């Protein structure tokens, strides 16, 4: 998938940022790697070979490393179609990460706005905007998250009734979906606004069934695009962001 240019309207650096800090933030190098590149004369600043790690980089300056221009980026907002067997974590011991699917110079700056379990698929939002992430995940904001649930056993009338009125799901936590729709004998649509740990699975289990597959289809009023295959991602437009948070 082709991605549009990274938004530049809110650049995340001061008007006088050190060159090694600029490379570390926007090129993905460590600070020591950045200094070595400068020492090795592999970096130019506005067309001149840079030899000072503390040289100031101002907005509009051009920084090139080994012939490649380093682009500063602004606030990033991404929708990703998470495949199964990927974690929403950077812990290498946990396995393949959704961050590995976003191979860009800003990947290290991203955080997940509402994690999914390793075996759960569907819509994941990533951003470097802490305010946006808080707006998405805070229970106070009542941002809806919609899930398509496949159960291991046939769904009964009693189970639907239990889910509809709410149920304790363990650890003295009570959960009540804001919406439930029975699609067929083994598929449900469940909408939540909180996002507790394993909440959908615990809900279904407490009602007397179990989850075989779980897929998140919507956050707020933003629906996962059918254009995104598992593992693909795209930037969110301002209108799409507003559909998520309402602001």
Catalytic residue among 61, 100, 117, 119: 117
Is position 234 annotated as part of the catalytic site?
A: no
Q: What number of residues does the chain have?
A: 247
Cα 213 to Cα 150, 164, 175, 230: the distances in Å are 5, 20, 20, 15
As a whole number of angstroms, the distance between CA 62 and CA 71 comes to: 8
Output the six-digit token pair for 15. Answer: 């008007």
Q: Which of 236, 231, 234, 235 is nearest to 97 (CA)?
A: 231
Place of tokens 């290290």: 108
As a whole number of angstroms, the distance between CA 244 and CA 247 comes to: 8
As a whole number of angstroms, the distance between CA 162 and CA 160 comes to: 5
Residues tagged active-site: 117
């Amino acid at each position: 998938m082709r991605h549009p240019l990274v938004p530049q309207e809110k650049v995340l650096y001061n008007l006088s940022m050190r060159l090694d800090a600029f490379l570390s933030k926007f090129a993905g190098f460590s600070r020591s790697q950045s200094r070595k590149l400068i020492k090795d004369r592999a970096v130019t600043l506005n067309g001149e070979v840079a030899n000072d790690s503390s040289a100031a980089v101002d907005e509009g300056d051009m920084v090139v490393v080994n012939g490649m221009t380093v682009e500063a980026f602004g606030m990033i907002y991404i929708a990703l179609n998470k495949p199964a067997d990927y974690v929403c974590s950077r812990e290498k011991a946990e396995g393949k990460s959704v961050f590995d699917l976003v191979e860009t110079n800003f990947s290290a700056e991203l955080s997940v706005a509402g994690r999914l379990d390793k075996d759960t698929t569907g819509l994941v939002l990533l951003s470097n905007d802490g305010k946006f992430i808080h707006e998405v995940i805070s229970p106070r904001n009542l941002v809806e998250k919609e899930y398509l649930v496949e159960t291991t056993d046939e769904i009964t009338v009693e189970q639907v009734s239990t889910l509809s009125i709410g149920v304790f799901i363990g650890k003295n936590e009570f959960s009540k979906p804001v919406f439930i729709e029975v699609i067929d004998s083994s598929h449900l649509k469940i909408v939540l606004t909180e996002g507790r740990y394993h909440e959908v699975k615990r809900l279904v289990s407490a009602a007397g069934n179990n989850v075989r597959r779980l897929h998140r289809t919507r956050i707020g009023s933003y629906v996962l695009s059918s254009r995104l295959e598992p593992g693909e991602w795209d930037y969110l437009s301002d209108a799409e962001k507003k559909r998520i948070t309402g602001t």
